[in-house]
Chain A
Amino acid sequence: DATRGTSSDCQPCPCPAGATCASVPKSGQVVCTNCPAGTTGKRCELCDDGFFGDPLGEGGPVRACRACKCSDNIDPNAVGNCDRETGECLKCIYNTAGFFCDRCKDGFYGNPLAANPADKCKACACSPLGTVGAQKSCSAVTGQCPCLPNVIERDCSACQPGFFNLRSRNGCERCNCDAIGSAN
Chain B
Amino acid sequence: PRPDVHPLPPGTHLLYAQSGRIEHVPLEGYDMKKDDAKAVLHLPEKVVIGVAYDCVDKMIYWTEITSPSISKASIQGGEPVTVIRSDLQSPEGIAIDHLGRTMFWTDSVTDRIEVASLDGSQRRVIVDSGLVNPRAIIADPPNGYYWADWNRDAPKIETSYMDGSNRRVLVKDDLGLPNGLTYDSQRSLLCWADAGTHKVECTNPGRGDRRQIMEGIQYPFGVTSFGKNIYYTDWRRDAVVAVDRYTGRESDEFQPQKRSKLYGITTAYAQCPSGQNYCAVN
Contact = CB atoms under 8 A, between A and B. Distances in A.
B140 to A, nearest CB: 25
Given A22-B3, A31-B44, A34-B258, A78 B66 contact: no
A77 B44 contact: no
Interface residues of A, number: 26
A79 interface: yes
Interface in B147-204: 150, 152, 177, 179, 195
Interface in B209-226: none
Contacts of A50: 261
B39 interface: yes
B260 A77 contact: no
B47 interface: yes
Given A79-B47, A80-B90, A91 B109 contact: yes
Contact of A46 (B2, B45, B133): B45
Nearest to A29: B4
B258 A35 contact: yes
A4 interface: no
B44 A40 contact: yes
A24 B108 contact: no
Contacts of B65: 49, 79-80
B4 to A, nearest CB: 6
B104 interface: no
B177 A77 contact: yes
A77 B20 contact: no
A25 B3 CA distance: 8
Contacts of A25: 2
Interface string A70-86: 00000101111000100
Interface in A19-64: 22-26, 31-35, 37-38, 40-42, 46, 48-50
Contacts of A75: 133, 152
Which residue, of A25, A34, A50, A79, has the highest number of chain B Cβ atoms within 10 A? A79
Nearest to A44: B44
A31 B47 contact: no
Q: What is the interface of chain B mostly: helix, strand, loop, or mixed?
A: loop
A78 B106 CA distance: 13
A33 B42 contact: yes
A33 B257 CA distance: 11
A120 to B, nearest CB: 15
A77 B66 contact: no
Given A40-B44, A79-B49, A34 B20 contact: no
Contacts of A34: 257-258
B92 interface: yes
A79 B44 contact: no
B192 to A, nearest CB: 14
Nearest to A47: B19
30 contacts: A22-B3, A22-B4, A22-B42, A23-B3, A25-B2, A26-B2, A31-B3, A31-B42, A33-B42, A34-B258, A35-B258, A37-B259, A37-B260, A40-B19, A41-B20, A41-B44, A48-B19, A49-B47, A49-B261, A77-B133, A77-B150, A77-B179, A78-B108, A78-B133, A79-B49, A79-B65, A79-B90, A79-B263, A80-B66, A91-B109
